[in-house]
Each structure stands twice: as structure tokens, then as C-alpha cells.
Amino acid sequence: MSAITGTTKLLGVIGDPVEHSLSPLMQNAAIAQIGVDFVYLPFPVKAENLETAIAGLKAIGVHGFNITIPHKQTIIPLLADRSDIAQSVGAVNTVWRTEKGWYGTNTDVEGFLAPLLAKKPDWQETEAVILGNGGAARAVVAGCSQLKCQKIHTIGRNWEKLQQFQESWQTAAIPVDIQIHLWEELPELLPYTGLLVNTTPIGMSPHTDASPIDATQMQWLPPNAIAYDLIYTPRPTKFLQIASSQGLIAIDGLEMLVQQGASALRRWLRQDVPVSTMRNTLQEHLAAKSQHPS
Ligand code: NAP
């Protein structure tokens, strides 16, 4: 990292907790590679201190920052404005300074899309099935809508939550028509599913033996289907191990993490950023951690 001096500009991430955030590692690796006079820091901010912290970040001239749990929604009233994507997703993960105040957007959608667009350009014939209807599923719905997927199905375990999820998309800045289902209906959808996305935490470390669907159900997918797991620890998850063993295309959550960060850094620096440095830094870190879990 280049020396921090009196002219160094500040970037960072606010959250509670932020101790485990991989963003400082990835962003500072990119900043060092480019050689710009910035540093990216973790800022632990409790929910009750959010407003004070945002005013403080403005007062000390912070250039821009990421937002993680639990502030992705609660920061919205503290912003001067936000993008249509952030409004539709209902969450902000990236903020920068404007003359009117903080402007927020959501780069998770771009992060989710990057590895899919690298696979094929045309998704209009593809039916997408999204497992889970929480925060990350919102970025996935927005992404599938941008891909113009033929149908977007969301699977959940609570019918009321599913209905609220569906309704929220009807009134979003960028409305999306989705179909909602309980898990029991999943087997009927699988033979038509070109893209199956796991947005639940099932299979996340330390519950690495769990998978949202089993090997038998995975066999019902068409042979060219893509299985996409937003989880990035472990690599691969059980879900993706099953998918790969059946010859399906498997994508894990690391690229989404890298690309949402790259998209944020591009906006702050207004220049191209070294995505491969960010990816390699995280891959090496996660590989070392899986060898020596703390
Ligand atoms: P969330 O808001 O808590 O949503 C989780 C969803 O999974 C909810 O719909 C929840 O259902 C469902 N769920 C949880 N446990 C389940 C179970 N045992 N059976 C069936 N459904 C279950 O969490 P999130 O923020 O969306 O994050 C979800 C996952 O995505 C996490 O693993 C996270 O690490 C990952 N993620 C990755 C990235 C990336 O950049 N790669 C970005 C964001 C998130 P209920 O609502 O009924 O509880």
C-alpha cells in the first residue's frame, strides 16, 4: 500500500459487524495496484449511531463508502438521492458525495450479472428460479429482469412474505413481474429452469453439508442449466458440487462479491479498476482461510 499522507482520501465500509468484511482487503489491493492516493477503511457503526456517523463521514470529507448489514435499508432516508436500481432493490450498498448530499446506489445487481453475461449474451429464452426471497434475492430479481429472462420464479417458505415480495416489485421504480411459489412447487419448475439461483444461506460455512436441493432434484434440470450460488464460503458449496457432478454450469458468489466492489470503486475513482487483482486477492485470502480456519 502507498503511504498514507495528509492528502490521502478516505473510502470505507459501514456496518455492524464489519470485522469480517472482505471489502477492505479487496479494495486496498486495487487502490495499491492503481497507485491512487486513497485508503479504504472499516467503520463499525451501531444502528443507533447511524445518523451521527453519516453526518460525521460528511464532516471529515469521506469521498464515498459501502454499506453492509444492518444499514442497507435504514440509510435510505439519510441520502439526498438514490438510483432507480437502489429504489427497486430497496437497499443501498454504495454511496458517494454530491453537491446536494450523499447519493446511493446498489452495485449488487451489476455484481450478480457479471458472471452470467460472461457465459452468454441472450437470456430471453431462459426461465430463472430464485431460491429464497430475502435481501439478496431482490438484487437477483432486478438482475434477471435486466437479462430479460422469459420468466422469473421466486421460491420461499412463507406465503405472506412471498406475497409482499411480489407486490413490492409491482410498485418498484423498475417494476418486475415475478411468479411466487412455496418450496413444494419447485419440482414442477425444475425441468424448465435454465438458471437456478440459491439466495438462501443453506450450505454456508459451517453448515457445509447442506444444500437447498438434493442430487435427485438437480437431475430434473435441463442439461445446459446454470446453478448459481451466492454463497462464497465454502468454495464450492454442496449445491454447486452436486450441480458440477451432473455436468451443469456452476457459478459461486465470489465473482458477485468482486464485481459489486469493482463497480463501487469505479464510481468513486471514475476510472477503470483492476478486477483481476481484486479477484486474486480474495481467492488467495479465502483459500488460506479454508486451510487455517480461525
Ligand atoms: P436474508 O435477507 O436473511 O434472506 C435469506 C432468505 O433465505 C430468506 O428468504 C429466508 O427465508 C431464506 N432461508 C433462510 N434459511 C432457510 C432455510 N433453512 N430454508 C429455506 N429458506 C431459508 O439474507 P440475504 O442477505 O438475502 O443473504 C442470503 C445469502 O446470500 C447469504 O448466504 C449471503 O452470504 C449471500 N450473499 C452473497 C452476496 C455476494 O456478493 N456473493 C451478496 C449478498 C448476499 P425467510 O424469509 O422465510 O426466513
Are residues 247 and 268 located together in one domain of the fold? no
Instruction: Look at phi and psi of residue 129 and say left if phi exceeds 0, alpha if psi is from -120 to 50, else beta.
Output: beta
Cα separation, 32 vs 212, in Å, equals: 39
SS3 129: strand
φ, ψ of residue 138 in degrees (nearest 5): -65, -40
C-alpha cell at 135: 435481501
Pocket probe for ligand 1: among 157, 232, 240, 282, the residue whose CB has the most ligand atoms within 8 Å is 157
**CB-ligand 1 contact for 232 (6 Å cutoff):** yes
Cα separation, 263 vs 61, in Å, equals: 21
Active-site residue flag, 72? yes
**CB of 41 closer than 8 Å to CB of 11:** yes
Residue of 104, 40, 24, 97 whose CA lies nearest to 71: 104
C-alpha cell at 210: 447442506
Specify the CATH number for the domain of residue 39.
3.40.50.10860
- Count of other CB atoms within 10 angstroms of residue 79: 18
C-alpha cell at 136: 439478496
The CA-to-CA distance between both ends of the chain, in Å, stands at: 25
Residue of 246, 270, 244, 273 whose CA lies nearest to 261: 273
Are residues 127 and 241 located together in one domain of the fold? yes
Task: Give me the number of domains the chain comprises.
Answer: 2
Are residues 43 and 153 located together in one domain of the fold? no
Are residues 188 and 237 located together in one domain of the fold? yes
**CB-ligand 1 contact for 253 (6 Å cutoff):** yes
Kindly state whether residue 2 falls inside one of the protein's structural domains: no
SS3 235: coil
Are residues 168 and 275 located together in one domain of the fold? no
Low-confidence stretches of the chain (pLDDT beneath 50): none
pLDDT in tens, 119-143: 999 999 999 999 999 999 999 999 9
Which protein residue has the closest C-alpha to ligand 1 atom 42?
Answer: 136
Which protein residue has the closest C-alpha to ligand 1 atom 22?
Answer: 200
Which protein residue has the closest C-alpha to ligand 1 atom 11?
Answer: 132
Q: 5 CA to middle of ligand 1, Å?
A: 40
Kindly state whether residue 1 falls inside one of the protein's structural domains: no
Range of the domain at 152: 120-252
C-alpha cell at 181: 411459489
Are residues 246 and 271 located together in one domain of the fold? no
Are residues 185 and 280 located together in one domain of the fold? no
Torsion of Cα atoms, 162 then 167 then 169 then 173, to 10°: -150
Are residues 278 and 168 located together in one domain of the fold? no
Give the DSSP per-residue string, 6-53.
TTPEEEEEEESS-TT-SHHHHHHHHHHHHT-SEEEEEEE--GGGHHHH
Pocket probe for ligand 1: among 166, 230, 258, the residue whose CB has the most ligand atoms within 8 Å is 230
**CB-ligand 1 contact for 175 (6 Å cutoff):** no
Which residue among 9, 72, 120, 289 is the active-site one? 72
Are residues 145 and 225 located together in one domain of the fold? yes
Kindly state whether residue 174 falls inside one of the protein's structural domains: yes
Question: pLDDT value at position 2?
Answer: 74
Amino acid letter, 224:
N
Kindly state whether residue 26 falls inside one of the protein's structural domains: yes
pLDDT in tens, 242-257: 999 999 999 999 999 9
Question: pLDDT value at position 1?
Answer: 62
Question: pLDDT value at position 294?
Answer: 63
Are residues 262 and 248 located together in one domain of the fold? no
Kindly state whether residue 114 falls inside one of the protein's structural domains: no
Cα separation, 81 vs 105, in Å, equals: 9
Are residues 247 and 175 located together in one domain of the fold? yes
Are residues 154 and 217 located together in one domain of the fold? yes
**CB of 155 closer than 8 Å to CB of 129:** yes
φ, ψ of residue 67 in degrees (nearest 5): -125, 130
**CB of 126 closer than 8 Å to CB of 197:** no
Kindly state whether residue 85 falls inside one of the protein's structural domains: yes
- Count of other CB atoms within 10 angstroms of residue 2: 13
Half-sphere exposure of 273 (CA within 13 A, CB side): 25
Question: pLDDT value at position 292?
Answer: 78
Cα separation, 41 vs 22, in Å, equals: 11
